[in-house]
Amino acid sequence: MLAKRVIPCLDVKDGRVVKGINFINLRDAGDPVEQAQIYDAEGADELIFLDITASHEKRGLILDIARRVAETVYIPFTVGGGIRTVDDMHAIISTGADKVSLNTAAVRRPEVITEGAKAFGSQAVVVAIDARKRLDALGWEITTHGGRQRTGIDAIAWAKECQERGAGEIMLNSMDADGTKAGFDIPLTKAITDVVTIPVIASGGAGAKEHFAEAVLEANASAVLAASLFHFRELSLREVKDYMASQGIVVRYKK
């Protein structure tokens, strides 16, 4: 079995790490570069930075953060938020980031997934899927703009299309579970992992160490992601990894 990854996610707004529930009621959670250094030292497998107020006017801020992270952190990291074109991807990759995360832009113009994969390799292209239960409760649909806009696009069909277009990984965020600490959305995650062969990162809802193991054992997630639990030191990466290991899951420890 390949080692399962534990990934802290840092939502960045105006140069600071923030966290809320469903992207509202945001609390300050520190300096992103300092947080990255702490997580690297604690044994995070990767990091994901999401610029939640991204715009071309403010793009320089996240680029500067990414450069500073690349200079001081030695684990892979992904940057997302407002990335629309191959030029945007190039700007991010040029800072030293390992991967870019596409979300709304990929929904609007799926060709950008393929363009990114051709330019930088599939391993560098992550598609973030913000999924929510349909209003009729029959399956899940893709949402954009932080989960606020429903698209009507079937989440399972979209995940398959992302893989076919060249995405190397899916970051699957349950908008129903996000920030609730009630656990990952196991049915949604399993529905996606059942139809794709690329890695799926389970995101949204972690509240206890048991939840991380459930996402791997019950939904076949390749990686598990959390934000506020780690930012506010409610759980440490070591506690999570130790519990996962106790459940027979292969994890990596920092040497």
Active-site residue identified among 11, 40, 88, 98: 11
Structure tokens at 132: 């929510």
Q: Give the CA diameter of the chain.
A: 49
50 in Cβ contact with 78 (< 8 Å): no
Out of 45, 130, 178, 185, which one is annotated catalytic?
130
Is 11 part of the annotated catalytic residue set? Answer: yes
Q: Which helix (H) or strand (E) is 225 found in, with range?
A: strand 223-226
Q: Is 62 exposed, middle or buried (0-12, 13-18, 19+ CB in 10 A)?
A: buried
The pair of structure tokens assigned to 86 is 């191959």
- Contact at 8 Å (CB) between 60 and 51? no
Residues labelled catalytic: 11, 130
